[in-house]
Structure formats: structure tokens, C-alpha cells
Structure 1
Amino acid sequence: MLHFSKMKFILFVLISMNNFIHLGQMQYWGGIGITKKTFFDIKTSGNIEYRHELGNGFDQLNLKPEISRKIVKGLDGGIEYRLAIKPNNANANFIGQQRLGIELSFSPLKWTEVSKRWSLGIDFKQQWNWRVTSRDLSILRTKLSSSYDAKNTPIGPYFSTEWFYCWNQDLIYGVDEITPVPGNRAWRTFAGVTIETSKHSNLKLLAGVNRRIDKGSQQFILNLAYSLSLP
């Protein structure tokens, strides 16, 4: 269980991050994930995530089951499905968007003698999005993440940065020529802390920026994610 001093630290970080964010759109994300290792060393996960946009209210609800398995030491493979429920701007109803993804996750430090407290992840995910009100998308995501399990404290630093590349390129039709729009879609970065709440659970408290390259806009994000690994 978290002591009162740890709760004060979490509150301090939340207030500090909220005061820092003063430009662009602001979103709050909250999620819960549960993982269980089943037969043949397959990990089965279920995640639910709620997204709220400051000033506009409910933005998105994500439901995501996933299975993954170690291929060799330092390399995992996985398949995920996501159902996203979003408000329909045209009326008071909601719309659903579906996504299927396949992923390869590398942990190169597991191949070395580097301290086991430091982890480094390189993830490649190919996903296909089916959407009701707009065209379908095929996106490649490349993510670099790092964390450190600090000694004698349940709190450790976390950092991740992720690049989104869209294979469905748009075309701009000019008077004399047709110009393809680059496939660079977004760049998302998070930094914060991971708090070990028990032997099998942790809480991530992160601040992030999601920069939409294709739209020339950016969103600031406060993300609170709880993870539980069932024995």
C-alpha cells in the first residue's frame, strides 16, 4: 500500500505538470490493465482506457484485449485488437472504431550483462484502423522506451517516444502538379515515474506531448495508468 508521503508526492507531480501545460489542447488519460500468463507461456491482457479533453468533455473510451508470447530471449511477439468508442460530432450518438495490430518487442539489454534494474524497449507495431466516418488507415508505429527500477524506493523514472507513419498518403492537387503528402503522421513523447504499488502491480504517472505532424497541431496529455499482473 502507498504511504501518505507517497500520495503527497503524486499530488505534487500532478499539480506541477498541470501548471506546466499552458499551450495547445489538454487531455487526461486514465487506464487499467490486467495481465495473466496462461498456457504455453502466452500472456493474455485486457485494458480499458478513458480519455477526457479539457473544455470538451469525453473524448474516447478504448477497450483492448491482447495476447503475446516470448519468441526468444529479448524478443516478444503479440497481437492486439482495440475498440474505440467516440462521440459523434454530427449528433448525440457514439461511433465505434476498430483496430488490429501486430507487434514485435525487443529488449536488447537482456542480451547483455547490464544491470537488470534498467530496461530498454524497442517496439514495432503495424496496425490497421477501420473507421465509420472517415477512411481506413494503415499505420506503422516505432517506439523507444526506457525505465529504471531504483533501489530502496518504489518510484523509478520512465520515458518513451513514439513515431507514427501512415502508409495511406494523401495527395494535394495543384494547378500544374500533384504533390504527395509525407506519411509522417505524429510524434508522441511521455516522461514521468513508475510507482510500484505491490509485488504484482504498478502505477504510471506520466506527462506527454502528442504532436500531429500532418495537422500542425499538438496535444498535452496527463496519463495515469494502473497495471496488475496476476500470478
Structure 2
Amino acid sequence: MHEWQAAHLFVGVRNVNEDFFTSDITTLFINSSCGIFPTIAASYPIANYPFSGLTVYFDVSRGGWTFRNSLYNGTGYNGWKRRDNPFLVRPAKDGVFNISQLEYAHSGAHYFAGVAVHSRQYTVGTDGEMPSADAAAHKTTCAWWAYAEQPVWSAADHCVTCMAQYSENTCHQSACYRYAEVGCAYCDSLNQCGLSAQCARFRQGTEHSVELTYRRQLNRHIALQPSFQYINNTEGNFTALCARLYYSF
């Protein structure tokens, strides 16, 4: 790793969660805490947590603009065997995966757009099973996305922020080829609460979900965040109640 005043270069084992997609509002919601659009995460066997891979990553910033780019081995790994470890570089078998993202931040607003390109096409069946790298077509496909996060009201330490994001995959036979989300969050020095709605088009059918979450800072070190989710898809209607406990020091 090497850092300049306005740039950063990294070569080594990494995963896409570390650099792309996330923002202050998206990380509040548990449903999208992975940060990665399903048009990418569900459609390619990439270095997405818990998988990693060898990466050449760099970013360059100027003013409120930031450009990021990562070049990965086309498949992520999490084993420690000869043929299953994150240090493998096999473009002939696994393909090549590249992500580029352009960001702009100003006065609390945050916008970004990007594209992910894979040298393989992973066409899944209606059962959702992804083919192996050997069975994937040697055809380049990509997914693109856009995200906007805009404060709409603020007073002292109180703030209301709205967000919207959209993504598509160029291959409609991929596991997920369309995704959209809208949401709103209120924040102050001790509280954060948010409401968001998501829609994802999978090969198995369309899934809709809604999340209501609330985070309370109990003291300087501990915060608690319960979350309620309602999910509707071809399998039926579901609800989920979960919670995060934060401890910072």
C-alpha cells in the first residue's frame, strides 16, 4: 500500500466491501449492510465477503470528486488449500473482474455512479444456482449503478436525509438483473432512525422488502439498533426482527 496526498494504491488480498457502494445512510440499514447491489453480488462469484481475492486498487481525489477502481481475479476464495485460496490469479479459468466508481460529495450530499465488468457470463437457472467458472460463457457482461444521498432538512445537530439507488445487469439471465431502493433517515447526536423500501428482480421472481430501523446511542461506548423487515417474494410473505449491538472504544 502507498498513499499520496490525494491518492491511494493497494496491491494484495481485498474484497469489494471495503471500497465501493457504502455511504452513511446505506450502512444504517441492516438489509443492505453488505453494501453491494445484488445485480453484482448475486450474479458473479466475486471477492464479496466472506470471499476475497488478489486486487489492484487505487483511488484519486480532487475537490469533492473521488474516482475508485479495482481489478480482481474473476472469482473470490476463502479457503487455504492449493486450489482454493485468495492468492490465486487464474484469468483463463476464473476470468477478470473490474469495478470503477465516480463519487461526488458536497455539503452532506453524496452521489456516485459506477460500472462493474466481468469477462464471464454466469447464466443461472430458475432454481438460482450459479454455474461454475468452467461452465460460465466466455462473454463479457457488466452491471451499472447510480446512487444519490441528499439532506433535505437540518437544524443544529438534527438532520433528515433521503436516498435513492438503482442498478441493472446487462445479462437478464443473471441471478439478479434489476434492483432499486429508496429510503429516508433522521439523525441527531444520540438517535438514528430510517425507513427504506427495496425491489429486486431475480430469475426466480421479484422480491419486495421494507425495513424500519432505529439506532440509539446508550452511552459513549454502546449503541443498540433493532430492525424490523417485511419481505414479499414468490415464496410468500415473511417478517424478520433483528438487532445490532455496537461497542466502540
- The TM-score with structure 1 as length reference comes to 0.43
Greater RCO structure (CA 8 Å; 6+ sep): 1
More strand per residue: 1 or 2? 1
More helix by share: 1
